[in-house]
């Protein structure tokens, strides 16, 4: 199938399925005109495709040919079907159309209002994302503008879908000590089917803060999706590294995002299993000559088909030339190359130290071309994390306690090692412990007494961010 035929196929699927969904949604609406639904959906598809083509202002020949062939066929418009790219570029079909992707369309809102579960609006969402990815795959070089548009459009539609669904404010499958305090994420077993991409992306969007990080991850996912489409159609693709550097203070969500990214890779067919193996220096560096390389190999064996997350990776480069950490780095570089299609690697740590780590071996920089920065949480975001933990465990902090908590967080120095989400969790656990000591002295406490957290239950000073071993490092 040619790339032009691929666009026509996915657009036709959008038109067919959304038309059917619109018919069901309007079945009992007085005055509805079902005979016009298909033409309305074709117009919707044409506007969205034109807007996406316009998003990077390139209007390439491949995009023009695909648009003309697709909508010339759907509308039985011989003139459009035979139009030349130059003629289309000189027309008003594309110029200034990108604003169509700035907000959900009326048609999408109609479907959303008619069926607030897995119905027409979800069909619209899944099919239009398929259309945008296929158009992006028309050209060898996918522009940042196209990737950013796909990411923002996806986020907008998923946001509306989540708003319309009961309980959507509680993002599912969060690690228990992550920024949102949800239930644990099970590692995907080899025999389990991969999670739908939109489900994992919705979970990513549900994390507190991390807006820039989310944009970076969405861009990575969209680029991989487009490259996969090009490969499926026999088109040339660019080599895209799946290995990343995460930099930031503890508790900023690095491990949580890595776990979701591993699942995104699996959903896109990049990784076979999509599980995450967390390790630090102690799991990769032995104490005697000849033991470190086999230890690093064992970690890659554990991560086979998934992602290896190396926390505080900069510690491998410490200790001088005779330190066994250097041997671990050399073996890491070798195995990344040997297993480039089977294991993705994320190295994480403080920004300055990670820059030194990347410079420790000439092979690291080329294998880790992209760095994602995880900023410290703001006071408001940390309050949101604390409150979400309270909602999860049915505790409520009163107004005086909320004001006191804000003062405590504001007073904490935002220096290197600031605990972030982990600090908020520790503050919450300390408050619960103190509340228990207070409530146990009450005679016949009520349910409200058992749920109430007060200012006096809060710790009065900085809280130790906790241990730094991988098991206690979510988010890290």
Structure-block tokens of residue 96: 């200034």
Tell me the per-residue pLDDT of 389-407, one tens digit each, with 9 for 90 and over.
888 888 999 898 889 989 8
Helices (H), ranges, 348-393: 351-358, 362-367, 379-393
% of the chain beyond a pLDDT of 90: 14
Kindly report the three-state secondary structure assignment for every residue of 408-435: HHHHCCCCCCCCHHHHHHHHHHHHHHHH
Backbone angles phi and psi of 248, in degrees to 5 = 160, 170
Q: How many CB atoms lie within 10 A of CB 55?
A: 25
- Of these ranges, 2-6, 136-140, 454-458, the one predicted with the greatest mean pLDDT is 454-458
CA-to-CA dists, residue 193 to 196, 204, 272, 274, angstroms: 9, 19, 10, 11
Start-to-end CA span in the chain (Å): 45
Among 475, 352, 353, 339, which Cα is nearest to 420's? 475
CA-to-CA dists, residue 197 to 53, 122, 263, 290, angstroms: 23, 13, 8, 42
pLDDT of amino acid 28:
59
pLDDT of amino acid 474:
36
Tell me the per-residue pLDDT of 418-451, one tens digit each, with 9 for 90 and over.
778 888 888 888 888 888 888 888 888 888 888 8
The residue with greater pLDDT, 472 or 255, is 255
How far, in Å, CA of 461 to CA of 444, rounded?
Answer: 31
Q: How much of the chain is in helix, strand and coil states, percent to nearest 5?
A: 55, 5, 35
Backbone angles phi and psi of 453, in degrees to 5 = -110, 135
Residue 168 has pLDDT above 60, yes or no: no
How far, in Å, CA of 157 to CA of 210, rounded?
Answer: 19
Query: Please, which pLDDT band fits residue 322 given cuts at 50, 70 and 90?
Result: low
Query: Please, which pLDDT band fits residue 289 given cuts at 50, 70 and 90?
Result: low
pLDDT of amino acid 247:
92
Domains of the chain: 3-164 (no CATH), 238-374 (3.40.50.300), 379-472 (1.10.8.60)
pLDDT of amino acid 373:
92
Which letter, b or e, does each residue of 28-45 get, where b requires 16 or more Cβ atoms within 10 Å of its Cβ? Answer: eeeeeeeeebbebbbebb
Query: Please, which pLDDT band fits residue 100 given cuts at 50, 70 and 90?
Result: confident
Residue 464 has pLDDT above 60, yes or no: no
Residue 270 has pLDDT above 80, yes or no: yes
pLDDT of amino acid 110:
85
Residue 166 has pLDDT above 60, yes or no: no
pLDDT of amino acid 463:
46
The residue with greater pLDDT, 162 or 128, is 128
The secondary structure element, H or E, covering residue 442 is none
Average pLDDT, the chain: 81
pLDDT of amino acid 421:
84
The residue with greater pLDDT, 388 or 476, is 388
pLDDT of amino acid 171:
36
Residue 115 has pLDDT above 80, yes or no: no
How far, in Å, CA of 381 to CA of 420, rounded?
Answer: 9
Query: Please, which pLDDT band fits residue 30 given cuts at 50, 70 and 90?
Result: low
Residue 309 has pLDDT above 90, yes or no: yes
How far, in Å, CA of 308 to CA of 314, rounded?
Answer: 15
How far, in Å, CA of 258 to CA of 217, rounded?
Answer: 10
Vertex 192: Cα angle to 189 and 198 (nearest 5): 105
Query: Please, which pLDDT band fits residue 186 given cuts at 50, 70 and 90?
Result: very low
Query: Please, which pLDDT band fits residue 285 given cuts at 50, 70 and 90?
Result: confident
Span of 30-44, 257-271, 297-311, 431-445 with lowest mean pLDDT: 30-44
The secondary structure element, H or E, covering residue 251 is none
Per-residue DSSP letter, 287? S
pLDDT of amino acid 246:
94
Backbone angles phi and psi of 20, in degrees to 5 = -65, -40
pLDDT of amino acid 32:
62
Among 367, 378, 288, which Cα is nearest to 327's? 288
Span of 75-84, 163-172, 380-389 with lowest mean pLDDT: 163-172
| Rg of the chain (C-alpha set) | 26
Do 40 and 107 meet the contact criterion of CB atoms below 8 Å apart? Answer: yes
Span of 201-215, 259-273, 312-326 with lowest mean pLDDT: 312-326
DSSP 53-84: HHTTS---HHHHHHHHHHHHHHTT-HHHHT--
Tell me the per-residue pLDDT of 72-88, one tens digit each, with 9 for 90 and over.
899 888 888 888 888 88
61-69: average pLDDT: 89
- CA 401, 407, 412, 414 dihedral sign is positive
Respond yes or no on whether the N-terminal peptide bond of residue 475 is cis (omega within 30° of 0).
Answer: yes
274-289: average pLDDT: 83
Q: Is pTM beyond 0.85 here?
A: no
DSSP 74-116: HTT-HHHHT--HHHHHHSSSSTT-GGGGSS--HHHHHHHHH--
CA-to-CA dists, residue 275 to 197, 290, 307, angstroms: 15, 29, 6
């Amino acid at each position: 199938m040619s790339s032009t035929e691929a666009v026509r196929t996915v657009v036709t699927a959008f038109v067919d399925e959304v038309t059917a969904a619109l018919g069901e949604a309007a079945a009992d609406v007085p005055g509805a005109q079902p005979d016009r639904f298909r033409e309305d959906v074709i117009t919707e598809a044409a506007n969205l495709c034109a807007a996406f083509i316009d998003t990077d202002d390139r209007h390439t020949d491949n995009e023009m040919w695909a648009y003309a062939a697709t909508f010339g066929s759907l509308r039985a418009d011989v003139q459009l079907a035979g139009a030349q790219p130059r003629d289309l570029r000189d027309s008003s079909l594309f110029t200034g159309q990108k604003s169509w992707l700035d907000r959900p369309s009326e048609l999408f809102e109609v479907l959303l209002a008619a069926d607030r579960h897995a119905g027409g609006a979800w069909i619209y969402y899944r099919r239009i994302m398929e259309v945008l990815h296929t158009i992006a795959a028309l050209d060898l070089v996918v522009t940042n503008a196209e990737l950013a548009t796909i990411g923002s459009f996806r986020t907008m539609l998923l946001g509306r879908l989540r708003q319309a669904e009961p309980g959507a404010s509680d993002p599912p499958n969060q690690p228990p000590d992550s920024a949102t305090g949800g239930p644990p994420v099970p590692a995907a077993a080899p025999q389990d089917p991969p999670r739908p991409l939109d489900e994992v992306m919705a979970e990513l969007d549900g994390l507190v803060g991390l807006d820039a990080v989310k944009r970076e991850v969405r861009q990575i996912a969209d680029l991989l999706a487009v490259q996969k489409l090009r490969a499926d159609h026999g088109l040339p693709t660019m080599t895209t590294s799946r290995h990343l550097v995460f930099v930031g203070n503890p508790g900023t969500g690095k491990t949580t995002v890595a776990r979701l990214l591993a699942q995104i890779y699996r959903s896109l067919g990049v990784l076979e299993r999509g599980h995450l193996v967390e390790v630090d220096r102690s799991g990769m560096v032995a104490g005697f000559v000849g033991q470190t390389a086999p230890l690093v190999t064992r970690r890659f064996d554990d991560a086979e088909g998934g992602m290896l997350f190396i926390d505080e990776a900069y510690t491998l480069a410490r200790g001088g030339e005779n330190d066994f950490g250097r041997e671990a780095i050399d073996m890491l570089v070798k195995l990344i190359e040997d297993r480039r299609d089977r294991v993705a690697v994320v190295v994480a740590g403080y920004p300055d130290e990670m820059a030194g780590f990347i410079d420790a071996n000439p092979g690291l920089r080329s294998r880790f071309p992209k760095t994602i920065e995880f900023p410290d949480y703001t006071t408001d975001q940390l309050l949101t994390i604390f409150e979400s933990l309270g909602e999860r465990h049915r505790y409520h902090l009163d107004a005086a306690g909320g004001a006191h908590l804000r003062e405590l967080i504001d007073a904490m120095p935002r220096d290197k090692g600031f605990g972030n989400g982990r600090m908020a969790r520790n503050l919450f656990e300390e408050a619960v412990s103190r509340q228990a000591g207070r409530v146990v002295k009450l005679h016949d406490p009520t349910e409200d007494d058992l749920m109430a957290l007060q200012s006096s239950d809060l710790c009065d000073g900085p809280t130790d961010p906790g241990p730094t071993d991988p098991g206690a490092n979510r988010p890290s």
